[in-house]
């Protein structure tokens, strides 16, 4: 037996990408008839997510390891906050007005954008002596679940192909779909990912009165911490239901 000192494994730092995707179509912008001002679904989430990002930035784990991008889509997709580490303050832009809800368009956009973001984040985080590894992204998709483009409803097959490009290797994105009461629960369920059996998915209905950004951020932080390789029994593919939200059980028309 001889003493050999060769091929030690490289130290690796892992970084986490989080996308918040906001549906800014007309149906998300318009309050229900008889409802008070600023009660449209979009207003609820526009209030919720900046606070959620601040909560994430306050946590030392996610602050140092995660980067967040905010996207909006209606007829087209646009970036409101480029993928930026949480320890850097970047303003979130105002979304353009549009009418459609082009799921296929925004999912296709995400497929391409994720590749660019991974490259940029690796370059940004690169440090002498460490490998930089980018974990599977988390995508928080806020929508009322009514895909509509080019003056017609968008068939499931039309957007599912891009959803699968995101959720299949090599990206293996984890998608959390969130809507308000009245959203199409089946569409949210199909959009979301979940545990390995695919039944318990991260599709939620948010209660406008009770949804708490702190609670949402706790669920997100828990999910990210559990997906960090350090000392986790399993990667948390199915996040716990945040307070003020209800998990969607499954498609009624499966």
Residues that bind another protein (CB under 8 A): 1-13, 54, 57-61, 63-65, 86-90, 127-130, 133, 135-136, 225-236
Pick between residue 100 and residue 213 the one whose CB is nearest to another protein.
213
We find the least distance from the C-beta atom of residue 20 to another protein, in angstroms, to be: 17
Q: Is the peptide bond before 170 cis (omega within 30 degrees of 0)?
A: yes
Alpha-carbon dihedral 192, 194, 197, 199, rounded to 10 degrees: -60
Pick between residue 197 and residue 233 the one whose CB is nearest to another protein.
233
DSSP 87: T
What are the tokens at 77?
Answer: 């997709």
We find the least distance from the C-beta atom of residue 244 to another protein, in angstroms, to be: 21
Q: How many CB atoms lie within 10 A of CB 155?
A: 10
Pick between residue 85 and residue 105 the one whose CB is nearest to another protein.
85
- Helix (H/G/I), strand (E/B), else coil: 155: coil
Pick between residue 22 and residue 135 the one whose CB is nearest to another protein.
135
Q: Which helix (H) or strand (E) holds 51?
A: helix 41-58
Pick between residue 111 and residue 228 the one whose CB is nearest to another protein.
228
- Helix (H/G/I), strand (E/B), else coil: 43: helix
Report residue 129 CA to chain centroid gap: 31
Pick between residue 40 and residue 176 the one whose CB is nearest to another protein.
176
We find the least distance from the C-beta atom of residue 113 to another protein, in angstroms, to be: 20
Report residue 195 CA to chain centroid gap: 16
- Helix (H/G/I), strand (E/B), else coil: 17: strand
We find the least distance from the C-beta atom of residue 186 to another protein, in angstroms, to be: 28
> Contact 81/91 with Cβ under 8 angstroms?
yes
We find the least distance from the C-beta atom of residue 193 to another protein, in angstroms, to be: 13
We find the least distance from the C-beta atom of residue 1 to another protein, in angstroms, to be: 5
Dump the DSSP string for 203-214. EEEE-TTT--HH
């Amino acid at each position: 037996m001889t003493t050999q000192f060769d091929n030690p494994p490289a130290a690796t730092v892992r970084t986490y990408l989080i996308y918040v995707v906001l549906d800014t179509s007309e149906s998300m912008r318009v309050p229900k008839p008889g409802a008070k001002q600023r009660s449209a679904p979009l207003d609820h989430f526009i209030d919720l997510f900046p606070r959620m990002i601040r909560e994430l930035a306050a946590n030392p784990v996610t602050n140092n390891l995660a980067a967040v991008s905010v996207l909006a889509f209606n007829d087209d997709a646009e970036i409101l906050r480029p993928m930026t580490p949480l320890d850097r303050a970047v303003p979130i832009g105002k979304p353009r007005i549009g009418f459609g809800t082009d799921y296929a368009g925004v999912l296709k956009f995400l497929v391409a954008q994720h590749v660019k973001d991974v490259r940029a984040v690796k370059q940004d985080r690169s440090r002498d002596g460490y490998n930089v590894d980018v974990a599977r992204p988390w995508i928080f998709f806020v929508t009322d679940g009514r895909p509509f483009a080019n003056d017609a409803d968008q068939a499931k097959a039309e957007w599912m192909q891009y959803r699968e490009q995101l959720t299949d290797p090599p990206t293996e994105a984890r998608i959390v779909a969130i809507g308000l009461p009245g959203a199409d629960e089946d569409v949210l369920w199909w959009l979301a990912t979940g545990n390995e059996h695919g039944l318990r998915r991260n599709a939620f209905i948010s209660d406008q009165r009770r949804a708490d950004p702190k609670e949402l951020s706790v669920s997100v932080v828990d999910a990210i911490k559990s997906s960090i390789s350090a000392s986790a029994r399993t990667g948390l593919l199915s996040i716990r239901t945040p307070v003020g939200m209800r998990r969607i059980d499954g498609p009624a028309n499966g």
